[in-house]
Amino acid sequence: MPGGGAVEDRKSLAALPSVDRLLRDPACQPLIASVGRALTTDAVRQVVDDARAALAGGAGDAVPATETLLGRARERAEALMVPSLRPVFNLTGTVIHTNLGRAPLPEEAVAAIAAVASRPANLEYDLGAGRRGDRDAHLEAWVCRLTGAEAATVVNNNAAAVLLVLNSLAQRREAIVSRGELIEIGGSFRLPDIMKRAGTRLVEVGTTNRTHARDYREAIGRGTALILRAHTSNYEVQGFTAAVPDPVLAGIASEAELPYVVDLGSGTLVDLERFGLPHEPTVRETLEQGADLVTFSGDKLLGGPQAGVIAGRGDLIGKIKANPMRRALRIDKLTTAALEAVLRLYADPDRLADRIPVLRFLTRDPAEIEAVAHRLVPLLKAALEGVVTVSAEACRSQIGSGAMPVEAVESMALVLRPAGPRKRAGAAAKKLAEAFRALPVPVIGRVADNALHLDLRCLEDEAEFIAQLDRLPFAGTDAR
């Protein structure tokens, strides 16, 4: 670099306003009022540092004007204040989507959360006796009423429920599980790993596709603590298969005086057939067929908040409640409020399909979804004129989160196919998906066959969806 340049750079550096001067500038005061002095100072310092680095780099940049620097600082500070966790449109076609927060709560649950969120509540306080109570008190009677269980307790999620059951009843002992049920869910819940952490030795019986009653009988020994069955909720073993029915397995366990535990995964409290959906074993049925304990999630088919419920025999629940680990896995007052409100809705099964969003989505009339599609097609065509072709196509929605792996319900999707050369269609479809995700309320669809598919089953707020269409970056231009 020629020597004269270095002198120029030093002059430019000296001309760069100081952080203090920028903070005192009247144009900076609105930002301080909006995001606070600490964040503004950080942002201004960053911007000044960046400008200094650019000048020292000798690229010959001019010293930025004060208003330019403050503009950059504002952008930085405001970007930091945009909430990271935000609502999105789930148009993926998977109704209970773990990555998208699973079950949206019914309004009754939202109101129940709001009622206790900012105030003290009798979470662990017995109002009648005027002394310490049990947080399960708000939920246990409802779970028992709705499932026929003798007793119940609730923890943070179903993985925690399984961990707590195993650690309470089978620490340093063995649990017998069929090889066909050694499940992994969402990459993070792997039954063998949970068992290890619970201190339980896994005894696998049978083969991947076939397990017989004698396999269980032969595996029972002095170290056996319980027999566990896990609902194979995200896959199905088909073909030459054999599994031992619940009543038989329950009989084998009871002969050996062992608890029979069933991890149901998606806890269903009502027979889904009443809504025209495929049958899914309910918690009540599973207990009636001889399970001593059943574990299930609160935010799958139940349609409530993230939680794990353990329901069943009173003496076993008593042991579980006495485990100090329960304290580390317990739910807070917000979840308690939401779950209680959802369980109360189950008191009236006739109105569930309207009131619980998960069930409302799953039972949505295909004609209604089709009507949504026909209303939206012309609007999308107008917004994306010349960029994509838009059509409404029949598709199948998945229930998701492990429930009913192979069943799917008829639905309708908007299919947005980028116009232009086929060669670049895949990249163009991805770009289109990106643009929808960048909207103020991100729209999450599914890219397949070089097109963006938006399954409309879970789209209820059409007005909000439509209102953002004109913010798509390429209305009237070329997507690529």
Ligand X SMILES: *Cc1c(COP(=O)(O)O)cnc(C)c1O
169 three-state secondary structure: helix
Least separation in angstroms between residue 157's CB and ligand X is 3
- The two tokens of residue 2 are 């020629």
Binding of ligand X by 398 (CB under 6 A): no
Which amino acid, residue 48?
A: V
Binding of ligand X by 233 (CB under 6 A): yes
Instruction: State which residue, 233 or 398, has the beta carbon closest to ligand X.
Output: 233
Instruction: State which residue, 299 or 340, has the beta carbon closest to ligand X.
Output: 299
Among 91, 5, 21, 117, residue whose Cα is nearest residue 464 = 91
Q: Which of 402, 429, 432, 436 binds ligand X (CB under 6 A)?
A: 402
Residues 203 and 124: their CA atoms lie apart, in Å, by: 39
| Residue 388 backbone zone (phi > 0: left; psi -120 to 50: alpha; other: beta) | beta
Q: Which of 92, 158, 167, 336 binds ligand X (CB under 6 A)?
A: 158
Binding of ligand X by 292 (CB under 6 A): no
Least separation in angstroms between residue 328's CB and ligand X is 15
Which amino acid, residue 30?
A: P
Stretch in the footprint of ligand X (CB under 6 A) among 29-37, 50-58, 152-160, 241-249 = 152-160
Among 443, 396, 341, 419, residue whose Cα is nearest residue 106 = 341
Contact map string, positions 234 to 273, toward ligand X, x by CB under 6 A: -----------------------------x-xx-------
Instruction: State which residue, 230 or 376, has the beta carbon closest to ligand X.
Output: 230
Stretch in the footprint of ligand X (CB under 6 A) among 228-236, 275-283, 389-397, 432-440 = 228-236
Binding of ligand X by 445 (CB under 6 A): no
Stretch in the footprint of ligand X (CB under 6 A) among 140-148, 156-164, 167-175, 424-432 = 156-164
Instruction: State which residue, 41 or 158, has the beta carbon closest to ligand X.
Output: 158
Binding of ligand X by 200 (CB under 6 A): no
Binding of ligand X by 333 (CB under 6 A): no
Strand 224-230 to 260-266 pairing: parallel
H/E element, 409: strand 403-418
Burial 167-191 (b: 16+ CB within 10 A, else e): bbbbeebbbbbbebbbbebeeebeb
Binding of ligand X by 229 (CB under 6 A): no
Q: What are phi and psi of 322, to 5 degrees?
A: -85, -10
* Torsion sign over Cα 275, 281, 283, 285: positive
Instruction: State which residue, 40 or 297, has the beta carbon closest to ligand X.
Output: 297
Contact 458, 358 (CB under 8 A): no
Binding of ligand X by 301 (CB under 6 A): no
Among 96, 284, 93, residue whose Cα is nearest residue 185 = 96
Binding of ligand X by 185 (CB under 6 A): yes
What ranges make up the beta strands (E) of 55-193? 89-90, 125-126, 131-132, 151-155, 174-178, 184-185, 189-190
Q: Which residues are 330's β-sheet partners?
A: 155
Least separation in angstroms between residue 372's CB and ligand X is 29
Stretch in the footprint of ligand X (CB under 6 A) among 181-189, 197-205, 207-215, 463-471 = 181-189
Binding of ligand X by 181 (CB under 6 A): no
Q: Which of 40, 153, 157, 224 binds ligand X (CB under 6 A)?
A: 157
Binding of ligand X by 93 (CB under 6 A): no
Instruction: State which residue, 95 or 392, has the beta carbon closest to ligand X.
Output: 95
Q: Which residues bind ligand X (CB under 6 A)?
A: 157-159, 183, 185, 189, 230-231, 233, 263, 265-266, 297, 308, 401-402
